[in-house]
Amino acid sequence: MPAHSKKRPRETANLNTGLVEIYEDLASENSQIRLDAALRLLSAKYTDAELVKILTRLFRGLCSSRKAARLGFSVALTEFLIRYVTSEARFSIEQVLLVFKEQTEPIPGASGQELRDYHFGRLFAAEALIKSKVFLKPDRLQSWSTLVEFVLELYHKKQWLQEECGWVLQQALVSLRYQPAFLDQAWVVFEQLEGHRLIKTLEGIALWITFWSGDNPSSPFSHTIFKNNNPLDAAEKTNLLNALKAVYVDDDGGDELYHNSGSTWSNKLHFAWIVIFEAAQKVNANRVRFSDLWTSFVDEYLFANAASEQKKYWGFLMVQHFIENNRHPSQLMGLNFQRCFCNQLSKAERHLHGIAMKTMKAVLHTAEADEEESIAGDILVHMVRTNSWVDFDKITKTKFVEKLLTMTSSDAWDKCLGALVDSVSNPELAPRNKGTTQFRIACADLILTAVKNYGRSRTNEAQRLDELAMENSVETLASFAFCQVVSKKGDVQTIDEQTKGAFRGRLLSTLSHLMTQTDDPSTYPAIAAAFLLTNKIEILPISPSSKTILASIKRAGKKMMKCGKHTWLLGATDLTIQKNVKVYRAFRLLFALTIIQAFCIDADALNLLEELEAAYDAHLDDNGNVQERSSGFVEILLSLVSKPSVLFRRVGKEVFSSCTAMVDQEGLDSMFDVLLKSEDLAGQQELFDAEDDAEEEIRLDIDEVSHATTPDSDTSSVMEETMDNEVIEFENKLAQALGTHRAEDELVNGDAQESDEEMMDDEQMEALDPMMSNMFKERKMASHKKETKNARDTIVQFKTKVLELLEIYVQQESKNPQNSILATIPTQCIACIQVTKSKQVSEKAAAVVKAALNAYKLSAAPEPHKQVLKVAKQELRSVHQNVLKPGSNLYLRTCSQASLFLAKMMLNNNATVEKVWKEYNRTGEKMAASQDVKVVGALFQDWFNWLTNAKATLSKRAVIA
């Protein structure tokens, strides 16, 4: 062989083709093929000479970087040693070490990848020797020492081998830790570490912590290595941090002996970090605290502003690893981490965006799996106290904070509320990058978000709403919306009107949401109103009208409290009591919300309080029974639902559903009047001529406030921008006609010259008159069109809300066989379809008639009521007169459904089928006699189909003629 060759000579004589195939399969990238090859190798019988060759070949195979050779040969070598050294003793340990040294020793002149292969081969070979446990005999202590020496020599070879060498020895100590008979083997490791001056390196400390637990004896050294023989001792914190940062300083104060800059990129954590921090989690008075160690190393070092991306990457891995095993995860959420976490999540093109996303998912997954709900709460409380939650979801375009809110316990949320109250009450606690007003509004938004998301992730319906936590949220919003704010120092803080308005809006939105979460919708509005009544002296400003306002509110408050005393009877079996309790709840809800509005010094709310008191006295006696039907109650509800507010719309529907029995014909007529109004400026003036002063009160609702995160705010911004553009366009046209510039343009351009307008003579001005007249006329027409469109939209929305109330009415009152005014609703809906130009209103009116038809059931044992029969007959004739008028398919279908509904009412009140037939015959004759009348086949077809299906029920009553 040439002298310059760096490869060891390969024996080519007497090749065993079977073994060659086995060696080839041991390098396969398929794990199953590798295992099968190892089994085939061990299943055959060999001579001593063959065993030596095989052992040599296995060690040599570990030095190969071909495919997965190291993995396959490592497994085969481990099993080979167990069998032929430990079990059959075909080799001595000295022979094995000799072959180990010869085959893993780099050949002279090796460099680059070849040298790297030999280093890794020795490392994998040492690991196989340790796993085989061939050294676990008292007489092999010297051989064990030799192997450890090999590993530590390798430790000094290359920086990138240090962690791997430490990990191999750590695995050995793990197995020795539970075998006291082999304590000497463990002592050999530490003596060798001390001899190589590695005992205080990162790997040395991890090895010490791994072995010297509470079950093992003290240090084997006569001199002190660590304070109290514990590298985690509080006095060793500085040395420990230096080791974690891979810096080793000589105890004698000499020069730095060892420095590991950590420049080698790795996508996994150093095993020693995990060992050290897991040990630090165990509480001990003399140990360094986990939180202090985490802050000093992870937060202030790995996540430092000037830290490299590699260190920050390791920091994210540390958070992912320890979030699952830490009962106080807020310890992991340092300020530097939260800053880096937010920055990396904010943009997908950032280098650490992926690992940041994985960290966020790990945190949320751990919080979701926590049955005690302590993890999410602990993190959220910490974020609130450090103000790191502010704009977090907005900046990162995630819902991290919102998702934490869904998994937060009531106790944790109470702590968050306390922190928010402190932040709002003490301006110095607000973040520097956000103004006091904006920060306070953000706090109000967080409370609203918490209420809307609280308990969403819970599967147990009983846990979906914690009454105490929600009550505290409502009172907190009410406090900042109306009351004085006192700081920790006892100073009264001034809350600007913008902040108060924001808190009032969030309060109303919170109440709107909570109404849908409880059996009694009046619960939380009553809590808020009672809180304001208790603190009324602080809320209302000193003015001549204060006494009048307080007197009105006080009377309403007493009636609200009285209504609350009757609501607990809802569980009673008596239907009359249940009906009365629902009415009391409705009044309690109306009183509570109107009291809240009255505290805003709203004249419309004060008038509404007076109307409510009158309606209360008219409908309820001292015994708590409903007195009579009245139209005044409907007028109050119409006043509420006319406001463009989600809350009042929801309140109107909730109250109306509880009090349909109190509605009389006059009340329904008030609703019908709305449906028949024209959808233009004239109709708007007729409906809202007395409500011009109520616009300011509407703005209190968060759903109508201009807010950057809501669709409504976007619409408002677009409208304002459109108006500005129109003004600018008009000014440009005017300037063009006059031959001048807009005033703003002159200021921007610094034009100080005399305008052209001043230089015009009388003839030029007269020539401009027609042009100016047309421009102002066009502007006036555009303004009128916009006003007309806004009026139309307002009327359409109001009609839709009224139709929603009518739909509730027909569903509730269809069960009442004595309700004659129910028959008047279909004809009014048909009239509404004839009048309206809105598809939305038409479809809603048709839906009301369909709901009435579906809700009203044909009875097998009718109870005749003459008044109901009379009204139903009149309305049926009216419907059949309307069906002869021209209309859309929706209109004709609605007429047909209205006819069936009224026919059912007549049949339920002892009318015969023959009487109903007469109306259908009369309509058919008119259709046949007039060419102008459109033949409506669906009217008769629907009647035939219904009659066929209802024949069984009707035959039992023997009413078919």
**Residue closest to 764 by CA, chosen among 786, 796, 737:** 737
CA dist 751 → 731, 740, 758 (Å): 17, 11, 15
**Residue pair 581/519 in contact by the 8 Å Cβ criterion:** no
Residue 694 has which token pair?
A: 């109520």
Left (φ > 0), alpha (ψ -120 to 50) or beta: where does 253 sit? left
* Residue count (the chain): 961
Q: Quick one: DSSP state of residue 932?
A: S
Rounded Cα–Cα distance for residues 907 and 860 (Å): 10
Nearest to 705 by CA among 697, 717, 713: 713
Q: 3-class DSSP state for residue 287?
A: strand
Nearest Cα residue to 450 out of 430, 469, 468: 469
CB count within 10 Å of CB 155 equals 23
- 3-class DSSP string for 404-432: HHHCCCHHHHHHHHHHHHHHHHCHHHCCC
The SS3 of residue 216 is coil
What does 223-252 look like in DSSP terms, one character per residue? S-SSGGG-TTBGGGHHHHHHHHTTEEE-TT
Q: What local confidence, expressed as pLDDT, does residue 302 receive?
A: 94
Asked if 509 and 703 touch (Cβ cutoff 8 Å), the reply is yes
Got the DSSP string for 304-317? -TT--HHHHHHHHH
Task: Give me the helix-helix angle, 497-514 and 575-598, nearest 10°.
Answer: 170
Q: How many CA atoms lie less than 13 Å away from 188 in the CB half-sphere?
A: 24
Return averaged pLDDT per consecutive 10 residues of the chain, 961 residues in all. 47 70 93 94 90 93 91 94 88 92 88 90 94 87 93 91 93 82 84 91 92 60 77 90 71 43 68 92 81 94 93 94 82 93 94 95 90 85 90 92 88 88 83 83 91 63 62 89 76 82 90 83 85 64 61 83 69 58 83 83 75 78 59 77 78 82 84 88 74 40 35 39 52 56 46 47 62 64 73 88 92 85 92 91 94 84 80 91 87 92 87 84 83 75 87 65 39
The string of DSSP codes covering 133-146 is TTT-SGGGHHHHHH
Residue of 182, 183, 173 lying closest to 205 (CA atoms): 173
State how far the Cα of 226 lies from the Cα of 234, in Å rounded to an integer: 11
CB neighbours (10 Å) of residue 97? 18
Q: Which two tokens stand for residue 901?
A: 């509904």
Three-class secondary structure of residue 485 per DSSP? strand
DSSP lists the bridge partners of residue 662 as none
User: How many Cβ atoms sit within 10 Å of the Cβ of residue 384?
Assistant: 24
Q: How far apart are the first and last CA of the chain?
A: 122
Rounded CA-CA distance 617/580 in Å is 14
**pLDDT (tens digit per residue) in 785-839:** 777 888 888 889 889 999 999 999 999 888 887 888 899 999 999 999 999 999 9
Q: What is the largest CA-CA distance in the chain?
A: 128
Q: Is 818 exposed, middle or buried (0-12, 13-18, 19+ CB in 10 A)?
A: exposed
CA–CA dist 229, 208 (Å, integer): 9
CB atoms < 10 A from the CB of 536, how many? 19
Phi, psi of 372, deg, nearest 5:
-80, -5
Contacts of 303 (CB under 8 A, 6+ apart): 311, 312, 315, 334, 336, 337, 339, 340
pLDDT at 716: 40
DSSP for 251-279? TTS-SEEEE----S--SS--HHHHHHHHH
DSSP single-letter state for residue 233 = B
Q: How far apart are CA 165 and CA 619, in angstroms?
A: 88
Measuring CA to CA, which residue among 427, 362, 361, 416 is closest to residue 389?
416
CA-nearest of 224, 257, 263, 227 to 243 is 257
Task: Measure the CA–CA gap between 351 and 809, rounded to whole angstroms.
Answer: 60
Tokens standing for residue 457: 């992730």
CB 663 within 8 A of CB 632: no
Q: How far apart are CA 348 and CA 268, in angstroms?
A: 22
Q: Chain centroid to CA 853: how far? A: 41
d(CA 819, CA 822): 6
Using alpha carbons, select from 640, 650, 668, 663 the residue that is nearest to residue 832.
668
Spatial distance between the Cα atoms of 7 and 531, rounded to a whole number of angstroms: 89
Cα gap 357→375, rounded to integer Å: 18
What is the DSSP code (8-state) at residue 700? T
Task: Give me the torsion for CA of 574, 577, 581, 583, rounded to 10°.
Answer: 120
